[in-house]
Amino acid sequence: GAGVSQSPRYKVAKRGQDVALRCDPISGHVSLFWYQQALGQGPEFLTYFQNEAQLDKSGLPSDRFFAERPEGSVSTLKIQRTQQEDSAVYLCASSSRRMYGPFNTDTQYFGPGTRLTVL
């Protein structure tokens, strides 16, 4: 079946521009995650949604970063007034479980990412 898709795959922005990155999770997955991956580093957690509720945004680096998932499916990560340090690959992942328990599992499946370059 279809996996997680992201668009655009590549985005070039001038410093100060706003950008919007889209994530289409696997159909029916209630959990959605955004990650930021700098060059040569592992992905770093940004935010977590359960359906339309943003339950954890502790990883967002500044108030210029905003994520939404209004209908509990597609999600958008918006970055306002982009800076050069925002250049990175932005990854989206989804998983199926509604609830997490100590002995339950919920595997995250990742999209291909959007490579953002801020000039």
Partner 1 sequence: DAKTTQPTSMDCAEGRAANLPCNHSTISGNEYVYWYRQIHSQGPQYIIHGLKNNETNEMASLIITEDRKSSTLILPHATLRDTAVYYCIVRVAVNAGGTSYGKLTFGQGTILTVHP
Query: Which residue ranges make up the site for partner 1 (CB under 8 A)?
Result: 4, 31, 35, 41-45, 48, 50, 53, 55-56, 91, 93, 95, 99-103, 105-113
Asked if residues 75 and 88 have their Cβ atoms less than 8 Å apart, the reply is no
- Residue 17 vs 50, nearer CB to partner 1: 50
Q: How far is the CB of 17 from partner 1 (least distance, A)?
A: 24
Rounded Cα distance, 109 and 112, in Å:
10
Residue corresponding to tokens 């100590």: 102
CB of 81 to partner 1, least distance (A): 27
Q: Which is nearer to partner 1, 24 or 43 (CB)?
A: 43
Which CB atom, from 81 or from 98, has the smaller least distance to partner 1?
A: 98
Residue 83 near residue 13, CB atoms below 8 Å:
no
CB of 62 to partner 1, least distance (A): 20
The least CB distance from residue 16 to partner 1, in Å, is 27
C-alpha angle 96-57-79 in degrees, rounded to nearest 5? 105
Amino acid at 34: W
Cβ nearer to partner 1, comparing 16 with 100: 100
Contact 38, 88 (CB under 8 A): yes
